[in-house]
Amino acid sequence: MRRCRFTPVVLLQLTFYAGLRDEFWTDNELGEHHWSKHFPYCGGAFQSPIDIKSELLRFDPTLRPIEVQNYNLSPNEQLTLGNNGHSVQISLPPKMYISSLPHRYTAAQLHFHWGSSSRPAGSEHMVNSKQYAAEMHVVHFNSDKYHNMSMAVDKSDGLAVLGVLIEVGEFNPAFEHFLKFINGIKYRGQKVQLSGFNVRALLPARLDEYYRYDGSLTTPPCYPSVLWTVFRNHITISHKQFLDLSTALYSSHAQDLTHVPLNGNYRKSQLVDSRVVLVSFKEGRGLHGPLTVTSPLIRKRIVQQLLVGDLADLADERLYQLLPSGSEKLHAGKEKELKEQESETLDKVKKQTLNPSPARKSQTNRFVGKLGLAEDAMCYISLEKRVSLQLKQRHTENQLVRALRDAVFLELNFKSYLDCKSDLALPTIRHILRGRPTDEAFELDRSLTKALMNHRKTSTTIKKSVPGTNYGSLSPATVPGKPHNQGYPHPWLLPMEWED
């Protein structure tokens, strides 16, 4: 998808977003419930925050420690502390950046989400359903590709946010650098200047242990443009410091007749979709889930085989691993067998992907471009306009949220899967197969379609069954040409119908 440039209309649209977003935060429950009516992406795919549960976690040994540059600011440097109606925000100078990601991500601002004095639980992300007292977000934009935050905010590779969980406990001297000015920004729109300080002191001591996943802005317009890094270790602030943050501010203007307290400014947990959460650590506290059975290299080569390889071989040996929960629910006794098959499969995949026919090469290149895997990132404003126009022509404006979700999910899921940040969901597999006009692809797509329909009808039954030993409502008689295989790990995937 081509990169889009901001027009005056788009800038006006973003200004409207900012104003309306503040109004939504004045009533967290009602406002959040209605976000998608005004901002379609808020009801879309890959939304944040999420509950980071153990079953979602996968250890990735390639994740490097987070490296931040120029976070220790001089006292001579001036920062702006403001109340924007939905949070406390500190502007950050462009010399601050993250250097450990594929692109350079330059700091723009940091802000907070918190609970209330009566309920000190206001973090957006949760860990195994535990909600912390507050959460800090340090927002960065991809300065290698975009000139500023406004240009990057709606691009699929536009933003990277560092999330820090905050618990009430010991006094935190770093917070005093701005909390002592909190009474100067009691009302929405108020700003004060403060001296630079060591922003690094706001982060946990260890920057090498974190959760990583693809997600979105947690306020409207909710673009799924954020590479999230949520640190494993929380920081603490004292009870008095938490009260300073949660009781001193209002989301209304000073001149308003009624003053609305600013607290509880967090978004509820969102659907995980087919995402997984990568972790940079393995041991300790029971927070790590099962490791991926297949390596990132194997996973990527399976996708290449799906694009250009022998589909019958893929279905026989590895297709189930592309599906959500496929690799996590294997029998323990099957892992050894899987490892023994891995080298053989690697050789097959390597031959098929390194030496494809010219026809397959050209078809694959077209498909990769179609999925948005080229250099240009997805532009969400452009996509929303195009989908909205198509729907209006069909007189189905009320389907915008659903249509945008479907359009965005396929591309984000595929791109994220290649970096092992998500599972490759069935709709994405079928989308890939439609790009291969062969009998084998048609047969496999038809088999997957049947499997998907049966899975939807019997999802409740399957959840209660033992993984890997029950086909749910699919009896062996419904599996053409293949006897029931007790070792087949995915109960609702039909084998290929043409196989011997």
- Determine whether 259 is an active site residue: no
In angstroms, the CA 467 to CA 463 distance is: 8
Token representation of residue 146: 């975009």
Cis peptide before 290 (omega within 30 of 0): no
Token representation of residue 315: 């279905």
Rounded to the nearest 5 percent, the helix, strand and coil shares of the chain are 40, 15, 45
Task: Name the residue type at position 270.
Answer: Q
In angstroms, the CA 424 to CA 299 distance is: 10
Q: Which of 33, 34, 38, 86 is catalytic?
A: 86
List, in sequence order, every residue forming a beta bridge with 198; answer none if it has no partner.
72
Q: What is the full DSSP assignment across 34-76? A: THHHH-GGGGSSS-S--EE-GGGEEE-TTPPPP-EES-B--TT
Q: How many CA atoms lie within 13 A of 81 on its CB side?
A: 23
In angstroms, the CA 496 to CA 196 distance is: 63
Q: 3-state DSSP call for residue 231? A: strand
List, in sequence order, every residue forming a beta bridge with 72; answer none if it has no partner.
198
The H or E element containing residue 80 is strand 78-83
In angstroms, the CA 427 to CA 445 distance is: 10
User: Catalytic residues, which ones?
Assistant: 86
